[in-house]
Structure 1
Amino acid sequence: MYKIAVVGDYDSIYGFATLGLDTFPVADRKEAEEKIEALASQEYGIIYITEALAAECKNVIEKYQERILPAIIQIPGVSGNTGDGVQGVKNSVEQAVGSDILFSNN
């Protein structure tokens, strides 16, 4: 069975531990990139990462976008929602479905 990890600043991710998820607080981009690489090589099927940190680690995240596992999903942090996480999910759905499911003809 695959595990779920959450990577980001401590204040943004500590609550996820109460849900049984493995949390990995990191202090900077270098530490985050190393942690993502390490988690991807282990049995983690999903890696949640704060949007602010994901913006700094784009090269590492892009490396895993075309792979089935792990799924790297952006989540808002305590600093707020940038919209990048929602846009990433929307892009993935568009790619899978073949069209923009939020498009309206009204």
Structure 2
Amino acid sequence: MAKEVNQPMAAIGEYETVLPFQAVGVKPYVMSEEESGHFESLLLQLAREKYAVIFVQEHLFEKFMSTVETVNEEYAVSVLPIPGLKGSSGTGLKSIRNSVERAVGMDIFAVK
């Protein structure tokens, strides 16, 4: 039988976007665009605390892309973009395409 591992998950973003995650055991961190100055330190703190997955609202994910990439490479955590109330800007799909391209060596989603 596999050993059960219980690593926490978090969601960072605006109140209306991250609060529903609490219903499934994800710890919400409310952060508006105006408060985004604390995003990088919060993301690094959660990575150091060994969170398994950190969901980040797209506007923060895009604004702090270099920090997100650093955390994804240096820590055993997955930082994933989630759309806000205004809908998706396509960041999630771009992130998946880039990850698959790095792993496989080519864009397998490309239309010929």
TM range (shorter): 0.7 to 0.9
Query: Structure 2: 5+ residue runs without aligned partners?
Result: 1-5
Question: In structure 1, what is the Cα distance between the partners aligned to 2:75 and 2:49?
Answer: 14
Indicate conservation of the 8 Å contact 1:8/1:32, yes or no.
no
TM-score by length of 1: 0.87
Amino acid at match of 1:30: G
Q: Indicate yes or no: 2:102 matched with 1:95.
A: yes
Question: In structure 2, what is the Cα distance between the partners aligned to 1:88 and 1:104?
Answer: 17
Q: Secondary structure at the match of 2:97?
A: helix
Question: In structure 1, what is the Cα distance between the partners aligned to 2:104 and 2:7?
Answer: 25
Question: In structure 2, what is the Cα distance between the partners aligned to 1:20 and 1:68?
Answer: 22
- Runs of 4+ in structure 1 deviating by more than 6 angstroms, as ranges, are none
Matched-pair identity in %? 28
- What does residue 2 of structure 1 align with? 7
Question: In structure 2, what is the Cα distance between the partners aligned to 1:92 and 1:23?
Answer: 25
What is the CA RMSD across the aligned residues, in angstroms? 1.5
Farther-moved stretch of structure 1 (20-29 vs 86-95):
20-29
Indicate conservation of the 8 Å contact 2:47/2:75, yes or no.
no
Question: In structure 2, what is the Cα distance between the partners aligned to 1:100 and 1:34?
Answer: 33
